Amino acid sequence: MNAPILVTGGTGTLGRLVVPRLRDAGREVRVLSRHRREGGQGVQFAPGDLATGEGIDAAVEGTEVIVHCAGTTRGDEGKARHLVPAASRAGVRHLMHISVVGADRVPLASGIDRAMFGYFGSKLAAEREVADSGLPWTTLRATQFHELTLTTARQMARLPVIPVPSGFRFQPVDAGEVAARLVELALGAPAGLVPDMGGPRVYAMNDLVRGYLRARGKHRPIVPVWLPGKAARAFRAGANLAPDRAVGHRTWEDFLAERVSTPSDSRP
Ligand SMILES: NC(=O)c1ccc[n+]([C@@H]2O[C@H](COP(=O)([O-])OP(=O)(O)OC[C@H]3O[C@@H](n4cnc5c(N)ncnc54)[C@H](OP(=O)(O)O)[C@@H]3O)[C@@H](O)[C@H]2O)c1
């Protein structure tokens, strides 16, 4: 078990929380990144780009376990399409993949659906690349991380009037808790699609934004906006939620108390 574990996206919000947890478990780690970086203390960096496939064979070589956290708002199926054959050639024995709750429940029936919610389609397609890879795999779907919720709230709070999609709810989860679960799963036996991971509470989107505004001491009017399309309807029906899997502990309020201060916002 001396082979390094490859963490794709090991420089991102989730992946950089996965890396130290793997180190704490006594594992050597290799991080795939599009940017050259210095390694050290049991962590090496491998340059590569999953969008083009460049460097991926070398990054995967000699690894037995991959924790695939690389992702963007578009094109994750293409990234999986470059990772999977390289992992097969390297004889990887466990491909651990993170996806999103609702990947299979947000329909992309129209251009409007695809423009606003295409991310869910690309996550589902990436899931299929992994499941059909012939490799032993595990996929965990998580709800939105607090960090993403914070980024969204910050952007919205720049507007003089904040439009919030009517009926949208979210169940933000702590990325560190998701990272811990990913490490547990990655070091265990491949398990296929495992139960979803959601944060401890479901919130109306306007309450999440209000919580942020309160923490910043800001006042903004919030106006409801009705989003058209089947994907938005699925969101209003809770397709992005996992209320039966509210297994996360750290709440949005806990996160805000630590990360957001008034009057000047303390960015990470
Ligand atoms: N954020 C959420 O709320 C949420 C919820 C559920 C699931 N997820 C999933 O969790 C994963 C991680 O999300 P995150 O929020 O941690 O993302 P993030 O902070 O935006 O980080 C993205 C990571 O992906 C890597 N990456 C992007 N394009 C790449 C490419 N072409 N080749 C190689 N690496 C590439 C980046 O590495 P470099 O820039 O160093 O190359 C970076 O480390 C994603 O798959 C996402 O869909 C996220």
pLDDT tens sequence across 155-174: 999 999 999 999 999 999 99
Pairing assessment for the beta strands 94-100 and 137-142 based on DSSP bridges? parallel
Q: Which pLDDT value is given to residue 2?
A: 79
Taking the whole predicted model, whether its pTM rises above 0.85 is answered as: yes
Q: What is the mean pLDDT of residues 87-110?
A: 98
Q: What is the mean pLDDT of residues 106-116?
A: 97
Of 59, 53, 55, 139, which is closest to residue 95 (Cα–Cα)?
Answer: 139
Q: Which pLDDT value is given to residue 14?
A: 98
| pLDDT grade for 234, boundaries at 50, 70 and 90 | very high
Q: What is the mean pLDDT of residues 169-195?
A: 98
Q: What is the mean pLDDT of residues 92-102?
A: 98
Q: What is the mean pLDDT of residues 10-29?
A: 98
In the chain, DSSP finds a helix count (H) and a strand count (E) of 9, 11
Q: Which pLDDT value is given to residue 263?
A: 61
Pocket of ligand 1 (CB under 6 A): 8-9, 11-15, 32-35, 49-51, 69-72, 79, 98, 100, 123, 142, 144-145, 148
| pLDDT grade for 264, boundaries at 50, 70 and 90 | low
Distance 73 CA to ligand 1 centre (A): 9
Instruction: Give the model confidence (pLDDT) of 241-256 as tens digits.
Output: 999 999 999 999 999 9
Distance 72 CA to ligand 1 centre (A): 5
Q: Provide the residue type at 204 as one letter.
A: A
Rounded to the nearest 10°, the torsion over CA 87, 181, 246, 226 is -40
Q: Which pLDDT value is given to residue 202?
A: 98
- pLDDT value at 261 more than 90: no
- pLDDT value at 265 more than 60: no
> 223: which DSSP letter?
E
